[in-house]
């Protein structure tokens, strides 16, 4: 077993932020089990350490008998270059051991623009990039995470990909791998055994079927399941959230301990992939949230606990949780924070309770500028809701709000775009009315506008993303309609949205593009200053793939899609109905407030919504 | 504030791999350790209440410290042995308390009293390096001033006051150790690497700095030096 520290240390004096590579944090666990797991996050330390899933899996692997999980992050460019020059392979933080010496290499798929970093990590680790090139002595490379719901663009790089919740599945994967090892199974036999684990997709056992140059679906080989259904943890309260997490020395993006209060969201926004693929809604009880938040603060020493989920304000016992936590934390300087707010009065009340005297800014997401378009996307927020909420916030002393919108949504017209500017104008005037004249100079409305990217497993999975020239034209329509005074308008980079669109709905052929882009120098494209559209343009050219045919083409509803063999539980029929409802501007209610809407999740996975109490709108 | 608080002075080490922490990272890590320790720390008043603590002079990234200081204010008295044990139990080995003691509220701040720093700079190189460095240091000191460029700015140090003691150079095998005592000035202090590098350049010497450690921080009072605890 080789400890690489003596070869790593001399490199540290020459790189930025050596703290990324030194381990030794509070909560890092150092064990020496016979089965080793490298948990790789495809970005730098300070991004990866803020990821809650990584902390959950670190805890889950560590709790297994005779298993040592170790963390791995992609070294920043300076360190990666120094490592290559000094012939030092990618190492795990805890034991400074080569990643290639681990039994299993788990790689998170958090965001499409980190895909090229998977190759950077594998290459630095000296593990063959493609599953087909790996031998019996190479570690098993397993993916998982939000982007696994369309795994095809990265499928050739993985031996297996877990679809859905990892809490229980990791034990099954380790058990299958171990027993295959024990009976001296070949790599191919091991993969067959893994394909029998519920939720595990083994890409090499699926072959794209092509007819007349058109993709017709996947053929499952050697008895692999035709459809891989996601794993679902039926009840979040059945296990304890990790409370003694690893506490970084470095200031990371979210410098706080997170306690997950619920998983899933049934609001049914039709553009939102997370809202479709993480169903059903599973709330944790107030008691376990308060217990875990208290224990986590004690164990980590953080001064902020974040109650995380897709929609924390929807938790039926949020008020009780906040009351109990804020009472406990009074006078300690320790705060509670929420990742997002709903557009309603309750949220302003909550923000008041949490912020103490601080009124830094509130963020809301109306997403579209007209009621018609908000109905199309099923964003159940009215203009009245928004004006009332903002008025309440400014009456309570806030002087800044941030509003999120999208352009390029299905059926959008120039009128809808101009509607964003008009809505912002009305928000500003309403806020102004309740702001004392002397303080009006400090009022700001930040408007952040992104381009809609259609995602797999949503009612909009068949839609065309608007082409780049059209994005620019619509941005200029928006600029013309936007009030200038007191408004800060910003856009999400349209080239980034375009690439996201290609990487999120592409098929297996996209793997060649990712590899070509990485070979051309693409690393850390999720970092604005590192992203070079030209590298990707060249990669598309080299591989002969037309990215617009993936991003900007609308699909027939009966067309085979690259992710049809992956099931998130929501039926294709439901997505089609929801698409028809969208086009008719018909809204669909949230099943945690009203009745079942028939999405199919509860039936197909034998799970159900779990609410800790009664939800209030 | 009006409330009675107890000022606990902590001598701590920042060593091993944790010498790569920045000062801000040290501050945040010590705050977290104090919270983990469950000490009844005092909190400042105002819009953004935070733990009341104060640090001695910062150490740069990569430099270790064996006797660094911080003052932590407590709302209630905790016997110093208990406070020490609690802090030690809540700290990573590389960033951990060495000794604690209560000091009087009226004592001046650590930043203003800690004025003497002792360093140990270890270089790769044997006896030839020792001789070369010794004569280079003498020559530099004889000149009386040293100009140092740091982050695009030039600072000039009066060596008679900056170096209250002559550097001490010793060799053991292929390692040469320079012992330096530096007076911390009001407008920044001399980095030991800067002086050693100047000596290497001056003597055209071959030697790589392997490590820098601040071994002690002292209070200078009426011409004599004392431990701040």
DSSP one-letter string for A238-267: GSPPP-S--B-SS--SS-SEEEE-EE---S
The C-alpha of A34 sits at a distance from chain B's nearest C-alpha, in angstroms, of 26
pLDDT band at A331 (very low <50, low <70, confident <90, very high): confident
> Is there a domain that residue B179 lies in?
yes
> Which residues in chain A are closer than 8 Å to B92, comparing Cβ atoms?
24-26
> Which residues in chain A are closer than 8 Å to B35, comparing Cβ atoms?
297, 301-303, 332, 334
B24 at interface of A, judged by CB pairs closer than 8 A: yes
Q: What value does the mean pLDDT take over residues B209-214?
A: 96
Cβ-contact B26, A335 below 8 angstroms: no
With a cut of 60, say whether residue A327 has pLDDT above it: yes
Cβ-contact A53, A62 below 8 angstroms: no
pLDDT at position A617:
62
What CA–CA distance (Å, rounded) separates A568 from A572? 10
Cβ-contact A403, A445 below 8 angstroms: yes
> Which residues in chain A are closer than 8 Å to B49, comparing Cβ atoms?
333, 356
Contacts of residue A422, Cβ cutoff 8 Å, sequence gap at least 6: A369, A481
Cβ distance A301 to B90 less than 8 Å, yes or no, reads: yes
With a cut of 70, say whether residue A586 has pLDDT above it: yes
The 8-class DSSP code of residue A155 comes to G
With a cut of 70, say whether residue A610 has pLDDT above it: yes
Cβ-contact A308, A260 below 8 angstroms: yes
The C-alpha of A251 sits at a distance from chain B's nearest C-alpha, in angstroms, of 7
B118 and B181 share one domain: yes
Q: What is the SS3 string spanning A420-478?
A: HHHHHHHHHHHHHHCCCHHHHHHCEEEEEEEECCCCCCCCCCCCCCCCHHHHHHHHHHH
What CA–CA distance (Å, rounded) separates A105 from A128? 12
Cβ-contact A303, B35 below 8 angstroms: yes
The 8-class DSSP code of residue B218 comes to E
B30 and B48 share one domain: yes
The fraction of chain A above a pLDDT of 90, given in percent, is: 90
> Is there a domain that residue B40 lies in?
yes
What CA–CA distance (Å, rounded) separates B163 from B226? 17
pLDDT band at A604 (very low <50, low <70, confident <90, very high): confident
> Which residues in chain B are closer than 8 Å to A249, comparing Cβ atoms?
18, 21, 25, 28-29, 95
Cβ distance B35 to A26 less than 8 Å, yes or no, reads: no
The 8-class DSSP code of residue B188 comes to B
pLDDT band at A356 (very low <50, low <70, confident <90, very high): low
Among A24, A300, A334, the residue with its CB nearest the CB of B92 is A24
This model of the complex carries an ipTM of 0.91
The C-alpha of A494 sits at a distance from chain B's nearest C-alpha, in angstroms, of 36
Cβ distance B32 to A18 less than 8 Å, yes or no, reads: no
CATH 2.40.50.140 fits A256-509+545-605, yes or no: no
B147 and B198 share one domain: yes
Cβ-contact A550, A501 below 8 angstroms: yes
> Which residues in chain A are closer than 8 Å to B93, comparing Cβ atoms?
24
- Concatenated DSSP letters of B115-159: EEEEEEEEEE--HHHHHHHHHHHHHHHHH-EEEEEETTEEEEEEH
Higher local confidence (pLDDT), B193 or A339: B193
With a cut of 70, say whether residue A416 has pLDDT above it: yes
pLDDT at position A107:
98
CATH number at residue B26: 3.30.70.580
B45 and B62 share one domain: yes
pLDDT at position A357:
58
B179 and B89 share one domain: no
Q: What value does the mean pLDDT take over residues B177-203?
A: 92
B133 and B164 share one domain: yes
The C-alpha of B226 sits at a distance from chain A's nearest C-alpha, in angstroms, of 32
Top residue of A93, A297, A333, A397 to mutate, by most chain B CBs within 10 Å, is A333
Cβ distance A303 to B36 less than 8 Å, yes or no, reads: no
Cβ distance B50 to A333 less than 8 Å, yes or no, reads: yes
In chain A, which residue's Cα lies nearest the Cα of B17?
A22
What CA–CA distance (Å, rounded) separates A405 from B207? 59
For A518, the token pair is 């990485």
Q: What value does the mean pLDDT take over residues B142-154?
A: 89
For B43, the token pair is 């909190």
Among B38, B49, B90, the residue with its CB nearest the CB of A333 is B49
> Which residues in chain B are closer than 8 Å to A334, comparing Cβ atoms?
35
Segments of chain A assigned to CATH 3.80.30.20: 256-509+545-605
What CA–CA distance (Å, rounded) separates A450 from A253? 21
Strand partners, B171: B176
Q: What value does the mean pLDDT take over residues A490-513?
A: 97
Number of structural domains in chain B: 2
CATH number at residue B191: 3.30.70.3190
pLDDT at position B1:
47
What CA–CA distance (Å, rounded) separates A597 from A437? 48
A333 at interface of B, judged by CB pairs closer than 8 A: yes
- Other CB atoms within 10 A of residue B6 CB: 18
Cβ distance A23 to B48 less than 8 Å, yes or no, reads: no
Q: Which of residues 24-43 of A touch B (CB under 8 A)?
A: 24-26
B98 and B134 share one domain: no
**Tens of pLDDT along A208-222?**
999 998 999 999 999
For A514, the token pair is 């990712």
pLDDT band at B2 (very low <50, low <70, confident <90, very high): low
In chain B, which residue's Cα lies nearest the Cα of A357?
B47
The 8-class DSSP code of residue A164 comes to B
Kindly report which listed range (A239-253, A507-521, B125-139) carries the lowest average pLDDT score: A239-253
A397 at interface of B, judged by CB pairs closer than 8 A: no
B158 and B210 share one domain: yes
B121 at interface of A, judged by CB pairs closer than 8 A: no
B60 at interface of A, judged by CB pairs closer than 8 A: no
- Other CB atoms within 10 A of residue B106 CB: 6
Cβ distance B51 to A333 less than 8 Å, yes or no, reads: yes
Please tell me whether residue A556 adopts helix, strand or coil conformation: coil
The H-or-E segment that residue A535 falls in is helix A533-543
B199 and B140 share one domain: yes
Query: How buried is B25 (Cβ within 10 angstroms: 0-12 exposed, 13-18 middle, 19+ buried)?
Result: buried
Cβ-contact A429, A440 below 8 angstroms: no
Kindly report which listed range (A134-143, A321-330, A359-368, A581-590) carries the lowest average pLDDT score: A359-368
Cβ distance A19 to B32 less than 8 Å, yes or no, reads: no
> Is there a domain that residue B127 lies in?
yes
Residue B122 structural domain: 114-226
Question: Which residue from B183, B216, B180, B175 is spatially nearest to B196, judged by alpha carbons?
Answer: B180
Query: How buried is A241 (Cβ within 10 angstroms: 0-12 exposed, 13-18 middle, 19+ buried)?
Result: buried
The H-or-E segment that residue A196 falls in is none
Sign, CA dihedral A275-A280-A285-A291, equals negative
In chain A, which residue's Cα lies nearest the Cα of B15?
A24
Cβ distance B38 to A333 less than 8 Å, yes or no, reads: no
> Which residues in chain B are closer than 8 Å to A12, comparing Cβ atoms?
20, 62
Please tell me whether residue A101 adopts helix, strand or coil conformation: helix
Burial A124-145 (b: 16+ CB within 10 A, else e): bbebbbbbeebeeebbbbbbbb
The H-or-E segment that residue A72 falls in is strand A67-73
Q: Which of residues 74-113 of B touch A (CB under 8 A)?
A: 90, 92-95
- Residue where a domain stops, chosen among B107, B134, B161: B107
**Tens of pLDDT along A551-569?**
999 999 999 999 999 999 9
**Tens of pLDDT along A263-312?**
999 999 999 999 999 999 999 999 999 999 999 999 999 999 999 999 99
Contacts of residue A192, Cβ cutoff 8 Å, sequence gap at least 6: A202, A205, A222, A223, A224
- Alpha helices by DSSP H, listed for A216-344, are 273-277, 286-300, 318-329
pLDDT at position A358:
65
B214 and B118 share one domain: yes
- Concatenated DSSP letters of A375-406: HHTT----HHHHHHHHHHHHHTT--EEEEEEE
B150 and B119 share one domain: yes
pLDDT at position B223:
85
**Tens of pLDDT along A97-152?**
999 999 999 999 999 999 999 999 999 999 999 999 999 999 999 999 999 999 99
Cβ distance B25 to A19 less than 8 Å, yes or no, reads: yes
User: Mean pLDDT in chain A?
Assistant: 95
> Is there a domain that residue B1 lies in?
no
B56 and B154 share one domain: no
Sign, CA dihedral A176-A178-A184-A186, equals positive
Cβ-contact A91, A99 below 8 angstroms: yes
- Residue where a domain stops, chosen among B75, B107, B139: B107
B31 at interface of A, judged by CB pairs closer than 8 A: yes
- Residue where a domain stops, chosen among B107, B123, B150: B107
Work out whether strand A335-337 and strand A304-308 pair parallel, antiparallel, or are unpaired.
parallel
């Amino acid at each position: 077993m080789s400890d690489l520290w003596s070869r790593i240390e001399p490199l540290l004096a020459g790189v930025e932020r050596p703290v990324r590579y030194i381990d030794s944090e509070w909560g890092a666990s150092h064990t020496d089990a016979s089965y080793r797991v490298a948990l790789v996050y495809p970005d730098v330390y300070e991004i990866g350490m803020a990821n809650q899933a990584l902390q959950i899996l670190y805890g889950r692997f560590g709790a297994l008998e005779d298993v040592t999980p170790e963390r791995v992050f992609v070294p920043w460019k300076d360190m990666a270059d120094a490592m290559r020059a000094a012939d030092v392979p990618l190492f795990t933080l805890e034991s400074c051991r080569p990643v290639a010496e681990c039994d299993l290499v788990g790689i998170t798929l958090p965001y499409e623009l980190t895909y090229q970093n998977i190759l950077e990590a594998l290459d630095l680790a000296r593990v063959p990039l493609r599953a087909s090139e790996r031998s019996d002595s190479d570690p098993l490379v397993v993916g998982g995470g939000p982007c696994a719901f369309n795994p095809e663009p990265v499928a050739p790089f993985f031996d297996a990909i877990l679809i859905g919740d990892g809490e229980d599945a990791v034990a099954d994967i380790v058990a299958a791998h171990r027993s295959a090892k024990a009976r001296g199974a070949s790599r191919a036999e091991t993969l067959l055994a893994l394909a029998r684990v519920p939720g595990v997709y083994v890409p090499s056992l699926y072959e794209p079927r092509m007819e007349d140059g058109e993709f017709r679906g996947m053929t499952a080989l050697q008895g692999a399941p035709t459809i891989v259904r996601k794993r679902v943890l039926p009840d979040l309260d059945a296990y304890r959230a990790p409370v003694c997490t690893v506490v970084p020395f470095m200031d990371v993006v979210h410098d706080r301990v997170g306690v997950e209060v619920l998983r899933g969201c049934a609001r049914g926004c039709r553009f939102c992939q997370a809202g479709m693929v993480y169903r059903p809604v599973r709330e944790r009880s107030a008691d376990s949230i308060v217990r875990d938040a208290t224990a986590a603060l004690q164990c980590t020493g953080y001064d902020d606990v974040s109650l995380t989920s897709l929609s924390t304000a929807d938790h039926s016992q949020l008020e009780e949780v906040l009351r109990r936590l804020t009472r406990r934390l009074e006078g300690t300087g320790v705060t509670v924070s929420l990742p997002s707010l709903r557009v309603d009065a309750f949220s302003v009340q909550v923000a008041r309770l949490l912020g103490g005297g601080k009124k830094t800014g509130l963020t809301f997401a109306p997403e579209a500028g007209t009621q018609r378009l908000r109905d199309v996307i099923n964003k159940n927020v009215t203009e009245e809701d928004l004006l009332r909420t903002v008025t309440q916030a400014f009456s309570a002393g806030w002087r800044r709000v941030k509003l999120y919108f999208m352009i390029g949504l299905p059926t959008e017209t120039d009128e809808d775009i101009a509607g964003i500017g008009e809505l912002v104008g009305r928000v500003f005037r309403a806020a102004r009315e309740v702001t004392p004249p002397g303080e009006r100079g400090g009022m700001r409305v930040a408007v952040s506008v992104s381009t809609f990217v259609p995602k797999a497993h949503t009612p909009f999975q068949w839609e065309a993303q608007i082409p780049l020239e059209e994005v620019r034209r619509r941005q200029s329509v928006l600029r013309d309609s936007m009030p200038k005074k007191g408004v800060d308008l910003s856009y999400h980079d349209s080239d980034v949205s375009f690439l996201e669109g290609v990487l999120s709905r592409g098929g297996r052929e996209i793997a060649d593009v990712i590899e070509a882009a990485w070979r051309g120098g693409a690393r850390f494209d999720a970092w604005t200053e590192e992203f070079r559209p030209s590298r990707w343009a060249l990669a598309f050219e080299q591989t002969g793939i037309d990215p617009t045919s993936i991003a900007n083409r609308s699909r027939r509803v009966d067309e085979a899609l690259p992710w049809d063999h992956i099931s998130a539980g929501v039926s294709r029929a439901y997505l089609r109905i929801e698409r028809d409802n969208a086009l008719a501007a018909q809204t669909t209610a949230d099943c945690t407030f009203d009745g079942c809407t028939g999405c199919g999740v509860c039936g197909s996975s034998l799970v159900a919504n779990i609410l800790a109490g009664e939800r209030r709108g | 504030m009006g409330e009675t608080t107890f000022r606990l002075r902590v001598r701590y080490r920042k060593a091993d791999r944790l010498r790569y922490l920045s000062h801000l990272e040290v501050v945040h890590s010590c705050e977290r350790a104090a919270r983990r320790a469950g000490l009844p720390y005092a909190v400042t008043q105002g819009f953004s209440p935070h733990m009341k603590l104060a640090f001695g002079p910062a150490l740069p990234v990569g430099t270790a410290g064996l006797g660094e200081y911080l003052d932590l204010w407590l709302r209630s008295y905790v016997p110093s042995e208990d406070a020490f044990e609690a802090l030690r139990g809540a700290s990573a080995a590389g960033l951990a308390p060495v000794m604690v003691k209560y000091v009087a509220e009226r004592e001046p701040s650590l930043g203003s009293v800690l004025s003497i720093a002792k360093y140990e700079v270890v270089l790769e190189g044997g006896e030839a390096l020792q001789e070369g460095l010794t004569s280079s240091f003498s020559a530099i000191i004889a000149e009386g001033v040293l100009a140092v460029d740091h982050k695009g700015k030039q600072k000039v140090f009066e060596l008679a006051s900056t170096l209250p003691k002559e550097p001490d150079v010793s060799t053991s095998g292929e390692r040469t150790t320079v012992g330096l005592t530096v007076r911390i000035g009001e407008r920044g202090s001399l980095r030991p690497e800067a002086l050693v590098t100047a000596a290497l350049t001056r003597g055209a010497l071959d030697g790589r700095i392997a490590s820098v450690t601040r071994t002690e921080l002292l209070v200078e009072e009426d011409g004599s030096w004392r431990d701040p605890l």
